[in-house]
Amino acid sequence: MSRYYIGLSVTYHDPALAIINDQGEVLFAEATERYLQNKRALHCPADPLFWAQQLLTRYCPDADQIIIAINWRKQRPLYENIIAALGCLSASGLLKTGIKKLRSPLKNYQLHHMIASQRNQITGAGINLVRTIQEFYPDCKLKFEDFSHHLTHAATACYSSPFSEAACAVIDSFGEKGSMAFYQYQNGKLECLFESKGTGSIGFYYMKITELCGFDWLKGEEWKVMGLAPYGKLNDSLYNLLKTTISVDGFVCQHAGKNLFSSLQQLEQFKRTNQDSIELAADLAYTGQYFFAELMTRLLQHLQQITGQKNLVLGGGCALNSAFNGQIKIRTDFEQIFVPSAPGDDGTALGAVWLAFHQCQPPAEKLSQIVQTPYLGSTISDEAVNQLIQFNKTLDIQHQPEEICETVAQLLANGQLVGWIQGRAEYGPRALGNRSILADPRQPETKDKINQSIKFRESFRPFAPSVLDEYAGEFFEHYHESPYMDKTLKIKDEMRQKIAAVCHVDGTGRLQTVKAQWNPRFHQLISDFYQITEIPMLLNTSFNVMGKPLVHSLEDALAVFLTTGLDALVINDYLILKPEHGS
């Protein structure tokens, strides 16, 4: 019998789909936003009908049985069922008055909207897959599984880590019961040590900071807070006020009691109302990030003391805070930190499918011994490029199977901006050398050039250095591997001017470690660039424009290439130049 497992992240934001075979091998994993070209894919199914059909045909052609697993429990919490019965989760219900305020930095209507959105997604989970399977695989047997949300985060992080044992922290905005869960991981088994209850949430806290800075957390703009924070300084009065809104004691995170709402009202005085008042927002971002780091440190140090572990695995939305992740080794007694390529909700599709797999058979030790590759998504085929060649009459398209890395390295050294597409797309929010925009990291003006002419985003947003592992210690203080751009480290003083385009205002860089065994072609490209410039790194940013996901198809890539300041586009072995650059 050919059995396949399909995992769905059915969170109302960042849905995703993952497929493994009966050996636990990952065949495919990708966020649905890529196929839809709809950033975050809010309220969209994880399994769009025609995409599901394509994936089944490609990865499950001989399926006799398919197990569909989702990342939320179908049995909903008591509070949720009560407010649903009271009608609070309908459109008109969001307007209801007289409902007791929840102890949270978010307003009731915001929380109820999130709960209602989540409830709707769970109800419709997998409906497109089932229709497709019934139509094209009528003899295929189906089984359904659902798992605790935080457990799926933990499974993604632990089963893709290089550790056989570790402490695991899952910290985000909310799950079935609360916002956090902590686990002991050993030999493929996850033991829950503590799961929080109630509305206390560091994720909600950071969402409030994002809102006060004038950004939109519903769009996932917490990134902007992290980028802006180094431009600011600590505001003591704001810091003291923030401490009255949320606290951490052991594993318990809670919002203040009767004084919470007066404190939240006082916070409004710091809110950025003028889009030009960036200095005020910078101090707010710095102070908010500063206090976030304190809260996270207390939780993680308590976890370390309880478990005695030296290895930490981190999951959940708060694990995307690379600025803090780079400080964990300094702030706590953990010695090794692993963050998966997709620690957010898109990653839980893989956690759900691995949990379903482990329910059917004993945990496979190989899952806990090999770092899972992040290159698990879609491809852009050579056939698509050849079709472009056939019908295109303007672009200069060159096939360079032997020289592509050497040619592109020279273009980059000459100051050109290159869109770089290779193999399978990355699983997770960050471009790791397969769906990237690349540039020379040496010139400080390159940063503004990319922000203004390609990304169309704020000038304070930084860019990542993708650095060869064998040379990274020469550039970064206290260097340790950061395979998925998951940690921000200090750049050594004497190196900052040499790589000015990837050096943030505070002298840091959110680096990507590059090894030949992880990504041979990207390693070769950087090595060729190093031979020309003596700099073993490239500026790397995601291949998209602000507000859009990473490019998915050839047409997506061409649209960005032809409507921005990109100088060259590389797809697999093909170099594509605009007419003015053609020979």
Q: Report pLDDT for 100.
A: 87
Distance CA 345, CA 44 (A): 14
pLDDT digit string (tens) for 123-161? 999 999 999 999 999 999 999 999 999 999 999 999 999
Give the strands of the sheet with 568-571, arranged side by side. 396-399, 574-577, 568-571, 418-421, 435-439, 537-542, 464-468, 508-514, 487-490
260-267 vs 202-212: helix crossing angle, rounded to 10: 30
Neighbours of 582 (CB within 10 A): 12
- pLDDT tens for each residue of 532-564: 999 999 999 999 998 999 999 999 999 999 999
Angle (nearest 5°) at CA 11 between 5 and 14: 90
pLDDT of the residue at 361: 73
pLDDT for 551:
98
Q: Given this model, what pLDDT does residue 583 score?
A: 43
Question: 41-64: per-residue pLDDT in tens?
Answer: 999 999 999 999 999 999 999 999
Predicted pLDDT at 274: 66
Question: Which pair of tokens denotes residue 163?
Answer: 């550790």
The stretch 474-482 carries a mean pLDDT of 95
569's enclosing H/E stretch is strand 568-571
Q: Report the percentage of the chain scoring pLDDT > 70.
A: 97
**Please, which residues have CB within 8 angstroms of residue 582's CB and are 6 or more apart in sequence?**
395, 396
Q: Does domain 202-338 have CATH number 3.40.50.150?
A: no
> Is residue 307 within 8 Å of residue 152, measured between CB atoms?
no
* Per-residue pLDDT band at 4 (split at 50, 70, 90): very high
CB atoms within 10 A of CB 232: 22
Q: pLDDT tens for residues 294-308? A: 999 999 999 999 999
Q: Return d(Cα 511, Cα 54) in angstroms, integer.
A: 35
What pLDDT is recorded for position 275?
Answer: 59
Tokens 């909310």 belong to 174
Does this model's pTM top 0.85? My answer is yes
pLDDT grade for 197, boundaries at 50, 70 and 90: very high
Could you give phi then psi for residue 355, rounded to 5 degrees? -65, -40
Q: What is the mean pLDDT of residues 171-191?
A: 95
Tens of pLDDT, residues 482-522? 999 999 999 999 999 999 999 999 999 999 999 999 999 99
The string of pLDDT tens digits covering residues 324-334 is: 999 999 999 99
Q: Which residue has the tokens 């478990």?
A: 307
Specify the CATH number of the domain 3-74+125-158+344-368.
3.30.420
Residue 209: HSE in the Cβ half-sphere, 13 Å Cα cutoff:
31
* Phi and psi angles of residue 314, each rounded to the nearest 5 degrees, phi first: -120, 130
Which pLDDT score, from 0 to 100, does residue 276 have? 54
Start and end residues for every CATH 3.30.420.40 domain found in the chain? 202-338
Which strands form 336-338's sheet, in the order they lie side by side? Answer: 189-195, 180-186, 165-171, 311-315, 336-338
Q: Give the span between the Cα atoms of 126 and 438, in whole angstroms.
A: 37
Please state the rounded mean pLDDT for residues 28-37.
98
Which distant-in-sequence residues (6+ apart) come within 8 Å of 236 by Cβ? none
> What number of H helices and E strands is found in the chain?
20, 21
- Tell me the C-alpha distance between 421 and 388, whole Å: 16
Under the banding of pLDDT at 50, 70 and 90, the label for residue 369 is: very low
pLDDT for residue 188: 87
Please say if the pLDDT value at position 225 is more than 60: yes
Q: Average pLDDT of 465-476?
A: 98
Rounded Cα distance, 35 and 561, in Å: 18
Under DSSP, is residue 359 helix (H, G, I), strand (E, B) or coil?
helix
Region 392-400: mean pLDDT is: 95
Query: Span 382-581: which CATH code?
Result: 3.90.870.20
User: How many whole angstroms separate alpha carbon 63 and alpha carbon 466?
Assistant: 40
Residue range(s) in the chain whose domain bears CATH number 3.90.870.20: 382-581
Asked whether residue 371 carries a pLDDT value surpassing 60, the answer given is no
Using only the alpha carbons of the chain, give its radius of gyration: 24
Average pLDDT, the chain: 94
As a whole number of angstroms, the distance between CA 79 and CA 76 comes to: 9
Antiparallel, parallel or unpaired: β 487-490 and 508-514: antiparallel
Q: Do residues 543 and 436 lie in contact, with contact meaning Cβ atoms separated by under 8 Å? A: yes
Mean pLDDT of the region 431-450: 95
pLDDT of residue 368: 45
DSSP string covering 162-214, please? S-SEEEEEEE-S--SS-SEEEEEEETTEEEEEEE--SS--HHHHHHHHHHHTT
pLDDT at 366 over 50: no
Q: What is the mean pLDDT of residues 252-279?
A: 84
Confidence class of residue 582 from pLDDT cuts 50, 70 and 90? very low
Per-residue pLDDT tens digits for 402-436: 999 999 999 999 999 999 999 999 999 999 999 99
pLDDT, tens digit, for every residue of 5-14?
Answer: 999 999 999 9
Q: Are 415 and 476 in contact (CB under 8 A)?
A: no
Structural contact between residues 343 and 314, judged by C-beta atoms closer than 8 angstroms: yes
pLDDT of residue 272: 85
Confidence of residue 278 (pLDDT cuts 50, 70, 90): confident
Res 362: pLDDT: 62
CB 546 within 8 A of CB 426: no
Q: Which amino acid is at 43?
A: H
Closest to 56 measured CA to CA, from 156, 146, 135: 135
Cα first-last separation, the chain: 56
Q: For the residues 77-93, what does the mean pLDDT come to?
A: 94
- Higher-pLDDT residue of 30 and 451 is 30
